[in-house]
Amino acid sequence: MRPRESPGDALPDSDLDVWDSILLPQAAHAGKDNWKGWCEIESEPAYFNMMLKQFGVKGAKVYELFSFDEEMLQSLPKPVHGLIFLSRWQDTSSMHTHAKTEEASKIWFANQTVDNACATYALFNIINNASSLTLGEPLSHFKEFTKSFTPQLRGEAVANFEFVRQIHNSFARRIDMLNTDLCMSIEAEPAKRGRGRNRKSRRNVEETAYHFNAFVPINNELYRLDGLEQHPQSLGPVSESEWLMKVKSDLDQQITRYEANEMESAVLVVAQDPLAELVTQLSWNIKRLQNLDMILDLQFPTWREVYEQDRVEKMNEHLLLGPNEGCGVCEEDLATLQLSQAEIKTTGHTTDDLLLSRTGLADAQARIRMCISQEKESNLHDEAKCHGREFDYSPVVFDWLRFHVKNGTVKDVLDTI
């Protein structure tokens, strides 16, 4: 028998190994891999962004929209691919017209066929209609595979896509899974007694259930893609610049159906990820700086000596003049950029003109790199938030308690609290 450790003793290396190799992974997975349900997801942009990343989607980022004022809308990266609205579920079929059969055939739309999965269905109904996004191999194959399916069959395909379900459930905790299983058990109980499924009335659903649905502009037409409706719902023609305000008008009609203290909602937008565009801007900036330095070296070989050495060093301090892994600029990207004939012209320039242009490019690079740094910091913040949410420590705590109960050390532990 191992001697009882005093409460103040540090864990021995063997116990630390167990913690790192067994307990932490157990906290991360917590039975999710084998669980066949779908958990509810909060309206947290970080969770949606992590889902997009794990799906393999590139070029999209989710933001929370706090208001529809012009300044807020102008600040969104363009294009905005779609909007996700979370609110108490309402039957809005009478407020909109169904898309015509010909139009609907050009829209990727899936019915929601499983409970608690509306976040993923809303996201899918947006990204599969955004032609400028890179979906990644798994979703590209899935989109191609389901392109001829009906909305109902697409919904079933999503529900049975294990890759998607596991990513969706990566934010589930043990209590979430237990609550979901309990609700399913309660709903299934009447069927076991031979009375059929206990269906909730629409009024009860409206009073209790919260639901994500999507708004997407497609071919100059605005559609409401609600997985609980059979078909896409047309909200009429729109332009690229005005469709968000048309969504606002539609949401205002829904919100007026509730009392002010009864309406809780959230609005998320799926917009272009600004990081890729910023990296492209930085690549062009470096290419132009390289070109300017080459022209200066050709026409004025002594330009570095003519101007004070400290001034040149100050100009070059923190200035990128080539590939940089931290900023995402690689040699291959720089090599593919082709400057205009006017930019590569090596005659007709004065040293002062060239240095003035160089200073402008250096200032522009500082601004671009600051924006890249902010975006990367935002992504790290999202990852940290998701990382903490993915861990479920309850199984670890239970195992820890069982260990102390088995070894008779519970009183010693309680005495230290």
Which of the four pLDDT bands, split at 50, 70 and 90, describes residue 313?
low
Residue-level pLDDT at 317? 63
pLDDT higher than threshold 60 for residue 113 = yes
pLDDT, averaged across the chain:
80
Measure Cα distances from 278 to 320, 356, 366 in Å.
14, 23, 12
For tokens 């924006």, the residue is 371
Cβ atoms of 266 and 62 within 8 Å: the answer is no
Q: How far apart are the first and last CA of the chain?
A: 26
Cβ atoms of 142 and 56 within 8 Å: the answer is no
Residue-level pLDDT at 1? 39
Mean pLDDT of 89-111: 70
Which of the four pLDDT bands, split at 50, 70 and 90, describes residue 206?
very low
Name the active-site residue from 96, 211, 327, 386: 211
Helix (H) or strand (E) holding 130: none
Specify the higher pLDDT residue, 75 or 32: 75
pLDDT, tens only, 402-411? 777 777 777 7
pLDDT, tens only, 253-293? 777 666 555 567 889 999 999 999 999 999 999 999 999 98
Cα–Cα distance for residue pair 376/370, rounded to 1 Å: 10
Among this protein's residues, is 327 annotated catalytic? no
Lowest mean pLDDT segment, chosen from 14-23, 163-172, 239-248: 14-23
Closest alpha carbon to 219 in 232, 202, 207, 205: 232
pLDDT higher than threshold 50 for residue 2 = no
Name the active-site residue from 39, 96, 118, 168: 118
pTM for the model stands at 0.76
Lowest mean pLDDT segment, chosen from 96-105, 272-281, 370-379: 96-105
**Any idea what DSSP says for residue 289?**
H
Query: Letter for the amino acid at 334?
Result: L
Cα–Cα distance for residue pair 225/234, rounded to 1 Å: 9
Which of the four pLDDT bands, split at 50, 70 and 90, describes residue 385?
confident
Among this protein's residues, is 404 annotated catalytic? no
CA dihedral 274, 276, 277, 278 (to 10 degrees): 80
H and E: helices and strands count for the chain: 20, 7
In sequence order, the 6+-apart residues with CB closer than 8 A to the CB of 98 are 104, 230, 231, 232, 233, 234
pLDDT higher than threshold 90 for residue 217 = yes
Cα–Cα distance for residue pair 247/23, rounded to 1 Å: 47
CB atoms within 10 A of CB 7: 13
Cβ atoms of 137 and 97 within 8 Å: the answer is no
Cα–Cα distance for residue pair 170/32, rounded to 1 Å: 7
Residue-level pLDDT at 84? 95
